C-alpha cells in the first residue's frame, strides 16, 4: 500500500484567506521548564488543508459534529471536467471546477468534493449537504482510484477544521 500526503504544512505566518485569523504557533512549555514540549496553536477553522461543513456557508447546515466519521473518507478519484464522473465516489479536481459544473457533479452523487473549486461552486455543494475539501496538494500524483481520508477535529458546532488528508493506493491491485 502506498500513501500520498495531500496536506499543506501549517506554520507560523503562513498565508491565509483575506480577513481570516493569522496562524500563530508559540511555545508554552519547554523541556527545560517542564520536562516536555507544548505549543499553543492559534488559527482559523479554515486554515491550510481543511474540510468545510455545510454550516460554513449556510446558517442551518450541518456542523462537523452532526456528521459521522464515515462521511470524511471513501473511494475517490481525481477527475477532469470532460470525464464521465464515477457514481458515489469522492471527486477531486486539479483544473478549476465552477458553478457551471454543479449539475454534473451533483448528478454523480459524490461522497465529497475537493481540490480546485470556486467559492460559488463550494457554496452550492455545501447547500446540498456535500462536504468540501480545499487547499490540497499532490493531487497530480493520483491517477487511479484511491481511498481518501480527511478526518476533521471533532469540534462542537464546527464549521470546518484543518485536517491531515491522505490518499491510500492499493498497489497490489496494479
Q: Are 89 and 111 contacting, i.e. CB atoms less than 8 angstroms apart?
A: yes
Distances (CA, A) of 99 to 14, 87, 118, 120, 140: 28, 19, 7, 6, 22
pLDDT category of residue 151 using cuts at 50, 70 and 90: very high
Is pTM, for the whole model, over 0.75? yes
117, burial (CB in 10 Å: exposed 0-12, middle 13-18, buried 19+): buried
What average pLDDT score do residues 44-64 get? 97
Q: What is the per-residue pLDDT across 25-46, written as a single tens digit (0 to 9) for each?
A: 999 999 999 999 999 999 999 9
Report all structural domains of the chain as residue ranges with CATH numbers, in order of start: 2-9+45-173 (3.50.30.50)
Amino acid at each position: 500500500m502506498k500513501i500520498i500526503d495531500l496536506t499543506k504544512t501549517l506554520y507560523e505566518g503562513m498565508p491565509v484567506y483575506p480577513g481570516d485569523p493569522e496562524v500563530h504557533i508559540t511555545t508554552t512549555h519547554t523541556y527545560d521548564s517542564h520536562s516536555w514540549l507544548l505549543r499553543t496553536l492559534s488559527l482559523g477553522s479554515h486554515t491550510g488543508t481543511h474540510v468545510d461543513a455545510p454550516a460554513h456557508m449556510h446558517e442551518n447546515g450541518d456542523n462537523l459534529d452532526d456528521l459521522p466519521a464515515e462521511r470524511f473518507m471513501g473511494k475517490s478519484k481525481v477527475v477532469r471536467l470532460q470525464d464521465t464522473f464515477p457514481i458515489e465516489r469522492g471527486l477531486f479536481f486539479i483544473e478549476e471546477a465552477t458553478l457551471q459544473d454543479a449539475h454534473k457533479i451533483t448528478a454523480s452523487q459524490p461522497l465529497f468534493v475537493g481540490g480546485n473549486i470556486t467559492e460559488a461552486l463550494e457554496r452550492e455543494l455545501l447547500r446540498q449537504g456535500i462536504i468540501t475539501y480545499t487547499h490540497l496538494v499532490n493531487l497530480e500524483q493520483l491517477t487511479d482510484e484511491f481511498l481518501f481520508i480527511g478526518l476533521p477535529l471533532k469540534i462542537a458546532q464546527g464549521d470546518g477544521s484543518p485536517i491531515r488528508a491522505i490518499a491510500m493506493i492499493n498497489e497490489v491491485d496494479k
